[in-house]
A and B are shown apart, each in its own frame.
Chain A
Amino acid sequence: MSSITATGTIPAAEPAEKNYLNVTTTFKSWALTHDHKRIGVMYLVTIAIFFAVGSLMAGLIRAELTSPTGNFLESETYNKVFTAHGVIMIFWVLLAAVPGILGNFVIPLMIGARDVAFPRLNLLSYYFFVGGGLLAIAAVLSGGVDTGWTFYVPYASLYSNSQVGLAVTGAFLAGFSSIFTAVNFIVTVHKMRAPGMTWFRLPLFIWSAYATSLIVVLGTPVVAITLMMMLAERTLHIGFFSPELGGDPVLFQHLFWFYSHPAVYIMILPSFGVQSELLAAFSRKRVFGYHFVAFSSLAIAVLGFLVWGHHMFVSSQSMYQGVVFSLITFLIAVPTAVKIFNWTSTIYKGTVRLHAPMIYAISFMGLFIIGGLTGLYLSTMSTDIHLTNTYFVVAHFHYVMVGGAITGLLGGIHYWWPKMFGKMYPDRLAQITAIIVFLGFNLTFFPQFIVGWLGMPRRYHYYYLEPQFQPYNIMSSMGASILGLGFLITGGYLIWSLKFGAKATSNPWGAHGLEWTIPSPPDLHNFPTTPIVTDDVYDYEALDAAGLSGGVVAPQGVS
């Protein structure tokens, strides 16, 4: 126990068996809940389903690309499959996963709050998310969308004969969902911190969630407007973007990337926060350079708004504009590098325990280093001419989005799973699975760097004029099978643990932080009394000295 609750009541007095999961059990009590923890669990279930659908689409893509002439899909279908993969994974998995699942669940717990600032808005946000998602699924089932997730005009506005309207409206709703969540987090972090929880005692997950929320609130309205303009052009023939109607297609790209580049940071920053939590907890050491890590999140949030044009070096934007965008893009590499170095130094002289979440944290380091560094090839303007729109870009952003964001999500889920459900998963199996995921991921996406450098354009269904691409595509598809297996095992043992897992104690990892001072799973009201924070963030020395949770050898209940 890191901080002092109001009195000396230490969790020995756990409320008998009643927790947020079983306090009420009716469907209505879940569907209309205002409890941030239940909403977090609902996000978890929903996003797991979307992730499964998106992964299935990825599987189809990889199966198709093993042969230069495809295997079983028509080109039109293939285009719809990769669009569905991109749209679902970006709008209904990556943008919402860490904030929706982990953010909702742990932010109030970490800052000692009863709930988020606006619980009803939080529920509304969930239903916007689901509603948008259902529209997207409806778009897929009623014929699909073939525009690619970027909805570039004039193809999406005037040429595509597919369910663009449904999908775009779905994305629009999902955007509102993330705005609601972001507003909620910003206000929660400002107004709901427990006494003594000063800004610099906030865990770094809170800092990154806060920075993310700022980006969401400032950026998402722009993409919402842009998508509406595109729909207006499509349905009402109001010429914003299509030259046939007097518009400018490059304007769409500017507006789209003004949001969608910061959106990359919306997806990755929360996982940066998770990464800081994991490294501190499993090195039993304060995150090195806490202030630098915290402020680098804000620096990334601010600079992230000034680099969108690096998606457009060869789009016919002004050359001088491109030079400025390239320069700022290189600047944003610095706060990112600072984070990497600080995380590495966190492990130095720590007391490392290689439980599954830590394996994910190490895996994150490896994958994100590759993902981040390959961004340099794309921000270097001359190499970008050759590499843009090729599989090099696909590999780069999968290293960042899956290797970074999803690995962070998996690490975070494994870390907080005992707190969420009060059960332990089999740690050894989870460690092995984390390594399977790491290896499968690399086998899937590393060959794509090479095939992209060789010149294979992305979104290609056939490559029968370039059979030399095939060996790399086969490697990639083999890796995807391993990766898929890893995800299946993960889902399997997590579900298994719900029924058969050993009971988790309040602090199975011996970690520092308010969320570990309350029972697992927490009571409906989180804290019996408002906690008063008296110690520093990640103060493992004090924790050990107090002998409260220190010296934990293995998480109790690990099978």
Chain B
Amino acid sequence: MGNFPLAPPQASEFAHQIDPLFYALTAVCVFFGGITFLVVIYFSLRYKRGTKADRSNPKHEHLPLEISWSIFPLILALVFFWFGAKQFIYAKTPPKDAMEIYVVGKQWMWHIQHAESGVRENNTLHVPIGRPVKLTMISQDVLHAFYIPEFRIQYHVVPGRYTQSWFTATKPGTYHLFCAMYCGTQHSEMGGYVYAMKPDDYAQWIKNGGNDPQPQTLVERGGSIYTKMACEGCHTEKDTIHGPSLYSLYGKTRRFTDGTTAVADDAYIRESIYKPDAKIVAGYIDTMSPYVSGTQPGAISEEDMLALVAYIKTLGTTNMPLDKSLSGTQRGVTPNSKVPGSARVTAVGALGFEKDNPEANRLRNGKPAVGALGSEN
């Protein structure tokens, strides 16, 4: 069932609590729902016109039956109500010794600050396993919802008031952080990863200042974009029938199908990605589709383009990064990526960072957003 997962991973104490309730509900629903529908089908066929069936003395009212099929679902419902409410109250009552983390949601990113150490991060959340973590959350603009499916926690992040949620991670790993409440254009991209770490790893991460343990240079970031966009599919070390090699390209004179030539500089590389058909290398036909400039997936933002050009310039030179973890078979970004931090940079890239919505500002008459945590302003 590799392609068809049937349940999300259980990575928090709370997941281990509610999942049994979920499966109990499923069992009850499948059993009673299934039986009822089968009975409907059975009756429909058994009493189909023309069948020989006993139709004598049909009843039209039956009080004991009505009472029993009211009481029985009621009792069952109250059982589920009881456990659901009990667990909800538990989920709303963080333990006093919980580690505190502050969350600010804004269109379309999460700012997170670890209270004890002051370490900050954007669109990621690092937490130690085995220790209760309490989140105090507020929105700087519209409604958001902080949602980690693997932990089974979700709570709205509301402008103008603090909300709280808490969890205890139980299993080290990389999980999803979503905004689950529709918040505008890039709602579906407001999120990132949650890293549940062993306490020692977490302590080390905090000690490093929480920064990406392997800060990326522009060239390295360009390399991961190169990989993500699968440029290597056509442009390899040697010329192929799909496309010319980009190795040792920079500064060379290129000859084109129309007989003209040009020196391969930054502008040329950029143009060849955004408008591949503008200049076609002699011996090739126009097969490459243009990339849009922008922040949507599949597009390349100008910020990413700078990195990509920087990387392409190094190909075939002594500056070429040899870190093969950045290339190879990795296509697209997966949660299990070995370089989630950098993947996150390429995936979210320029879209979120401090990009304000000018229309929102207009509508707000330039009033400052309220309620943001002081430290985040």
The interface of chain A, by Cβ under 8 A from chain B, is 68-70, 74-76, 79, 146, 148, 152, 154-155, 158-161, 237, 242-244, 248-250, 283, 285-292, 313-316, 319, 322-323, 326-327, 330-331, 333-334, 337-338, 340-345, 347-354, 358, 362, 365-366, 369-370, 373-374, 376-377, 379-386, 388-390, 450, 453-455, 457-468, 471-472, 553
Contacts and interface: CB of A to CB of B under 8 A. Distances in A.
Contacts of A464: 297, 332-333, 347
Contacts of A159: 107, 141-142, 184, 357, 359-360, 363
B58 A377 contact: no
20 contacts: A152-B143, A154-B141, A154-B159, A161-B363, A244-B160, A244-B364, A288-B60, A331-B74, A350-B55, A351-B47, A376-B29, A379-B84, A380-B84, A389-B154, A390-B180, A450-B6, A454-B5, A454-B7, A462-B296, A466-B335
A333 B107 CA distance: 38
A161 B18 CA distance: 40
B77 A333 contact: yes
- Name the 5 nearest CB pairs between A and B, nearest first: A455-B149, A243-B160, A382-B87, A380-B84, A381-B88
Given A383-B18, A457-B180, A460-B187, 14 more contacts: A159-B107, A161-B360, A316-B161, A316-B163, A338-B66, A343-B40, A347-B40, A348-B43, A349-B47, A365-B36, A366-B37, A455-B149, A461-B188, A462-B296
A338 B44 CA distance: 19
Contact of A459 (B91, B149, B187, B333): B187
A465 B332 CA distance: 9
Interface stretch (B209-217, B257-265, B273-281, B365-373): B365-373
Contacts of A362: 40-41, 44
Contacts of A466: 176, 335
B78 interface: yes
A462 B189 contact: yes
B84 A283 contact: no
Contacts of A70: 296-297
Given A154-B142, A373-B29, A455-B149, A388 B154 contact: yes
A158 B360 contact: yes
B199 interface: no
Interface in B145-162: 145, 147, 149-150, 152-156, 158-161
A384 B92 CA distance: 13
Nearest to A385: B154
Given A146-B185, A454-B5, A459-B188, A158 B364 contact: yes
Contact of B54 (A349, A383, A460): A349
A455 B61 contact: no
Given A146-B185, A454-B5, A461-B188, A334 B73 contact: yes
A161 B184 CA distance: 10
Nearest to B54: A349
B102 interface: no
A43 B53 CA distance: 42
A386 B37 contact: no
A313 B159 contact: no
B83 A79 contact: no
Interface in B16-35: 17-18, 21-22, 25, 29, 32-33
A74 B81 CA distance: 42
A75 B62 contact: no
Contact of A347 (B44, B161, B181, B296): B44
A317 B81 CA distance: 18
Nearest to B2: A468
B58 A349 contact: yes
A243 B162 CA distance: 12
Interface in B325-344: 332-335
Interface in B165-197: 176, 178-189, 191-193
B25 A380 contact: yes
B43 A377 contact: no
Nearest to B53: A349
A31 B141 CA distance: 47
A460 B357 CA distance: 19
B48 interface: yes
Given A323-B85, A389-B147, A462-B188, A467 B4 contact: no
Nearest to A470: B3
B32 to A, nearest CB: 8
Contacts of A358: 44
B59 interface: yes
Interface of B is mostly: mixed
A464 B147 CA distance: 17
B187 A350 contact: no
A5 B36 CA distance: 40
A330 B81 CA distance: 7
Chain A CB within 10 Å, residue with most, of B160, B185, B188: B188
A152 B155 CA distance: 16
Contacts of B48: 352-354
A292 B67 CA distance: 10
A465 B371 contact: no
A427 to B, nearest CB: 14
B363 A380 contact: no
B318 interface: no
B39 interface: yes
Contact of B296 (A74, A337, A458, A468): A74
Interface string B342-365: 000001000000000101101111
Contacts of B47: 283, 347-352
B143 A155 contact: yes
Given A249-B159, A347-B47, A383 B141 contact: no
B4 A344 contact: no
Nearest to A322: B88
A334 B66 contact: no
Contacts of B21: 380, 382-383
A380 B156 contact: no
B233 interface: no
Interface in B115-129: none
A344 B360 CA distance: 54
B84 A382 contact: yes
B99 to A, nearest CB: 20
A114 to B, nearest CB: 31
Contacts of A288: 59-62
A292 B66 CA distance: 8
B58 A285 contact: yes
B97 to A, nearest CB: 21
Contacts of A323: 85, 88-89
B31 to A, nearest CB: 10
B87 to A, nearest CB: 3
Given A243-B159, A314-B145, A334 B81 contact: no
A401 B45 CA distance: 27
B53 to A, nearest CB: 7
B252 interface: no
A314 B149 contact: no
A473 B70 CA distance: 38
A376 B367 contact: no
A387 B184 CA distance: 21
Contacts of A75: 185-189, 296
Contacts of A373: 29, 32-33
A293 to B, nearest CB: 10
B80 interface: yes
B324 interface: no
Interface string B82-119: 01111111011000000000000001000000000000
A124 B369 CA distance: 45
A345 B43 CA distance: 9
B37 A369 contact: yes
B187 A79 contact: yes
B250 to A, nearest CB: 30
B335 A286 contact: no
A382 B370 CA distance: 31
A382 B91 contact: yes
Contacts of B185: 75-76, 79, 146
A386 B188 contact: no
